[in-house]
Structure 1
Amino acid sequence: MDRNAGNVAVAPPMPDILPPVRPRGGFLGYLRRNPTIAIGGGLVLAMVCVAIFAPFLFTRDPTALAPALRTREPSAQFWFGSDMLGRDVYSRVLYGTRVSLTVGFSVAILASVIGLTIGLVSGFIRVADTIIMRCMDGLMSIPPILLAIALMALTRGSVQNVIIAITIAEIPRVSRLVRGVVLSLREQPYVDAAVASGTRTPRIIIRHILPNTLAPLTVQATYICASAMITEAILSFIGAGTPPIIPSWGNIMAEGRALWQVKPYIVFFPAIFLSITVLAVNLLGDGLRDSLDPRMAKRV
């Protein structure tokens, strides 16, 4: 110890054990730490803007026929060329963004909400688990695309029916995921304490179980969104999805497959837009998984 002139003991300064806290930088700092979320989210936002502002992006009526201008190569008049009926492929592709995003987002939301409810009930209430999950296992035994085709065969082609058919096919995946999370959470000490204190089951589920399922559910919703857009394109491509009059990417590719060898651009441009959109949603899902899962986190 050092002693000053007044003979008073003064302790030396303690060394800094912990590193200085660095400012997080807010939302921009979060994006810099998670470039996958930034890239995926940016591409998804760009596609949403294309869908919203399609009428203002130098497009024409996507259903207008011009037989005298059919199968024109990409040029200043037709940026993506024209199809066999003279319709502008550029306009049809941009308007098709609305169909794919509507189907993808709608299926992701509906399947997540319904699957979350089923998973919470079956995972926490043992009596209902056996009955509910056997039904989910039966649905999961059928490939989602075949189940969607079978459901569409029972109804007429429309965007609403496509959303319902794909949602039914995706619900078992969400319910199984949520059930697995709930099975591990209901054995935690804080859940046992809530049960011992007399807390009702609905309150335990909403207050203690539900918040811990939102992170994996959010990641799963992004994958369902991407899968739903691919399934919608497949259904439309084989004629079991949206009506041909609706400009969807699957319909555009289905109409251009007969001329693929001589006019590949009719199929090429909607396929590129579909691939970019699915890639963007998957990148966003991967980034959210790495950010929300503490085991995948790079920084603590």
Structure 2
Amino acid sequence: MLPPGAVSRRDVAAAAPTPDVMQPKQPRKGFLGYLMRHPTIAFGGALLLLMIGVAVFAPFLWTKDPTALAPVMRTRDPSAAHWFGTDMLGRDVYSRVLYGTRVSLIVGFGVAFFASVIGLFIGLVSGFVRWADSIIMRVMDGLMSIPSILLAIALMALTRGSVGNVILAITVAEIPRVSRLVRGVVLSLREQPYVDAAVACGTRTPVIIWRHILPNTLAPMTVQATYICASAMITEAILSFIGAGTPPIIPSWGNIMAEGRALWQVKPYIVFFPAIFLSITVLAVNLLGDGLRDSLDPRAAKRV
């Protein structure tokens, strides 16, 4: 017996299920799918690989001896014989620009590696060992109070000009940036419950840092390393431009622009071409860093 006003299930017609017209979009997997989801990494990485290829295969890209002097061919405009023209000593600007790619990439990658490794160690110790924090950070604050370019110039004044000394000088100026970043990350990580649990279990401090703290600092440090690489390339060009970087016999973009500044109004191509190559390389590294930031920290990515 049904109560008054109730409707039997047999009197109710059930609608047929609606077919799913829009099939769910399956994201591509693998390396190609990763690049399609992060086009900034793809574009920046492609530009950087192109510049690395130019640096590695410079002798096979129709270049000449970048240090060969030819006074009779000085200040020639770009032509089929000299694609980027010649400087005031008759040297081929195209060859010098391509070989200068090696110096900038070596300095950029070298500074990024050494500053990241040393800054990571300092940041881990300062952020996790409380009694050492105040001492280490006061030293880092002292270094950061001096503009990095001035600190690099002062260090280069104490040594002779070479690529190795340029890397050393810029690395010392960049270490505080990495150490403060890592310290900030460690300060937030050491308050996490899993770190407290490891301490309660009697785990030694080096083991806690190695297993629980270090893996969580690699992502932000990798992004920071790309920015340090781009900054180091610009700093090296500035040092070479003012005569405090690599010696003039070594072709670098800063040296080429410094030699061409006296003829800027009549022969602007001497400065223009190395400046374009420097801008493209720095742009590639920065785009790669932005893409890595969005990839490693999805909360920072602008998505619909």
Query: Aligned match of 1:75 in 70, 79, 102?
Result: 79
Letter aligned with residue 104 of structure 1: G
Query: Aligned match of 1:118 in 119, 122, 133?
Result: 122
Indicate whether 1:184 and 2:202 are aligned. no
Letter aligned with residue 280 of structure 1: A
d(CA) in 2 for partners of 1:236 and 1:22? Answer: 51
User: What is the aligned length?
Assistant: 288
Gaps of 5+ in 2: 1-8, 10-15
Gaps of 5+ in 1: 3-11
Report the alpha carbon displacement of residue 294 of structure 1 after superposing the two structures with TM: 2.6
Match for residue 22 of structure 1? Answer: 26
Match for residue 48 of structure 2? Answer: 44
The aligned runs of 1:86-101 (5 Å cut-off) are: 86-101=90-105
Indicate whether 1:293 and 2:293 are aligned. no
Letter aligned with residue 113 of structure 1: V
Task: Give the ranges of 4+ consecutive aligned residues of structure 1 lying more than 3 Å apart after TM superposition.
Answer: 297-300
d(CA) in 1 for partners of 2:301 and 2:114? Answer: 29
Indicate whether 1:278 and 2:282 are aligned. yes
- SS of the aligned residue for 2:76 comes to coil
| TM-score w.r.t. length of structure 2 | 0.92
Match for residue 146 of structure 2? Answer: 142
d(CA) in 2 for partners of 1:154 and 1:275? Answer: 30
Larger radius of gyration: 2
Report the alpha carbon displacement of residue 24 of structure 1 after superposing the two structures with TM: 2.9
Instruction: Let me know the Cα RMSD of the aligned residues.
Output: 1.8
Match for residue 249 of structure 1? Answer: 253
Indicate whether 1:196 and 2:172 are aligned. no
d(CA) in 1 for partners of 2:24 and 2:81? Answer: 60
Output one character per residue of 1:230-272: Cα deviation in whole Å (capped at 9) or x when no partner: 0000000000000000000000000000000000000000000
Query: Aligned match of 2:239 in 235, 241, 246?
Result: 235
Letter aligned with residue 96 of structure 2: R
d(CA) in 1 for partners of 2:29 and 2:302? Answer: 17
Report the alpha carbon displacement of residue 23 of structure 1 after superposing the two structures with TM: 4.3
Report the alpha carbon displacement of residue 22 of structure 1 after superposing the two structures with TM: 2.1
Letter aligned with residue 265 of structure 1: Y
Report the alpha carbon displacement of residue 296 of structure 1 after superposing the two structures with TM: 2.2
User: Which has the higher mean CA deviation after the structures are superposed, 249-258 or 285-294?
Assistant: 285-294
d(CA) in 2 for partners of 1:293 and 1:151? Answer: 36
Query: Aligned match of 1:58 in 49, 59, 62?
Result: 62
Query: Aligned match of 1:168 in 166, 172, 177?
Result: 172
Letter aligned with residue 260 of structure 1: W
Letter aligned with residue 290 of structure 1: D
Letter aligned with residue 190 of structure 1: Y
Query: Aligned match of 1:127 in 97, 122, 131?
Result: 131
- SS of the aligned residue for 1:240 comes to coil
Give identity over the alignment, percent.
86
Match for residue 6 of structure 2? Answer: none
d(CA) in 1 for partners of 2:122 and 2:282? Answer: 27
Query: Aligned match of 2:35 in 15, 18, 31?
Result: 31
Match for residue 110 of structure 2? Answer: 106
Output one character per residue of 1:153-175: Cα deviation in whole Å (capped at 9) or x when no partner: 00000000000000000000000
Report the alpha carbon displacement of residue 21 of structure 1 after superposing the two structures with TM: 7.5
Match for residue 7 of structure 1? Answer: none
